[in-house]
């Protein structure tokens, strides 16, 4: 029981990084104007780099370790195609929530994996929860800005919604712990499916938003985001 409480607490803390990032994004009018623009594009790039690191260092390596090559192709390609269909659907309804979709697509599979592997290594689970939290902060920041630009929701409503989304962490962690600990192939398939979808979103929506003409700092945000993922990967013994 104590172990389960620890797992739920870790996944909740990792999820709460999303509303924390959104709260930082709610701070408007950073002066001067050029600095606000530079910061916003740099954080978008940082989030994209963090997502790429999750794909390259966590989701894909863990996914291919337990599946045959044909399942790898099916899950990874299926994720990309499914997210393309979702993107088309959202665009048709004028609801481009690409940042939000990417954030949840990263958070939920990693929380599932954390729940499934927590019993085997609590130390690795603690570090993985920290990495997830660090990824969720810039992703929460970017998702908040995206929603504010496309929908007239109040700051409080968006942040409260992100608080409820944080509960997906404990839910996914508990599912992984109770139902998927003995099914590594299922966890791997979910992670590869998410990896394909995230890769689609990064190059379709996030990377183009990070571009800022006559400014060269934002791409370094992507480098920093990926570096964060590499350091976390090394910390858990990758």
Q: What is the block-wise mean pLDDT of the chain (238 residues), using blocks of 10 residues?
A: 84 92 76 59 78 82 88 93 83 72 82 78 72 82 82 85 93 89 86 86 71 66 79 68
Is residue 186 within 8 Å of residue 69, measured between CB atoms? no
Return the SS3 of 215.
coil
- Rounded Cα distance, 57 and 41, in Å: 24
- Rounded Cα distance, 102 and 98, in Å: 6
Q: Residue 50 has what pLDDT?
A: 79
- Rounded Cα distance, 154 and 83, in Å: 28
Q: Residue 68 has what pLDDT?
A: 92
End-to-end CA distance of the chain: 29
The answer, as to whether pTM is greater than 0.85, is no
Q: Is the peptide bond before 32 cis (omega within 30 degrees of 0)?
A: yes
Q: Residue 34 has what pLDDT?
A: 47
Residue closest to 7 by CA, chosen among 166, 171, 162, 139: 171
Token pair for residue 21? 């990032």
Q: Which residues, at least 6 apart from 102, have a Cβ–Cβ distance to it below 8 Å? A: 47, 51, 139, 198, 201, 202, 205, 206
* Whole-Å CA distances, 229 to 7, 90, 139, 156, 225: 21, 29, 14, 30, 7
- Rounded Cα distance, 141 and 143, in Å: 6
Residue closest to 184 by CA, chosen among 54, 78, 24, 63: 63
Q: Residue 99 has what pLDDT?
A: 74
């Amino acid at each position: 029981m104590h172990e389960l409480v620890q797992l739920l607490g870790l996944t909740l803390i990792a999820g709460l990084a999303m509303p924390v990032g959104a709260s930082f994004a709610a701070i408007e009018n950073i002066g001067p104007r050029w600095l606000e623009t530079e910061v916003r594009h740099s954080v978008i790039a940082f989030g994209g780099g963090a997502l790429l690191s999750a794909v390259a260092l966590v989701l894909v390596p863990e996914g291919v370790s337990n599946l045959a090559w044909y399942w790898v192709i099916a899950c990874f390609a299926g994720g990309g195609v499914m997210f393309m269909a979702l993107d088309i659907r959202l665009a048709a309804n004028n609801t481009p929530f690409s940042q939000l979709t990417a954030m949840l697509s990263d958070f939920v599979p990693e929380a599932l994996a954390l729940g499934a592997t927590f019993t085997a290594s609590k130390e690795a689970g603690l570090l993985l929860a920290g990495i997830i939290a660090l990824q969720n902060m810039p992703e929460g920041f970017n998702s908040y800005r995206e929603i504010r630009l496309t929908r007239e929701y109040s700051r409080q409503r968006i942040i409260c919604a992100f608080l409820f989304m944080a509960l997906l962490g404990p839910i996914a962690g508990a599912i992984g712990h109770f139902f998927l600990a003995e099914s590594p192939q299922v966890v791997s398939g979910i992670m590869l499916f998410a990896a394909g979808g995230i890769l689609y979103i990064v190059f379709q929506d996030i990377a183009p938003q990070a571009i800022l003409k006559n400014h060269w700092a934002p791409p370094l945000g992507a480098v920093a985001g990926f570096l964060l993922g590499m350091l976390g990967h090394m910390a858990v013994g990758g």
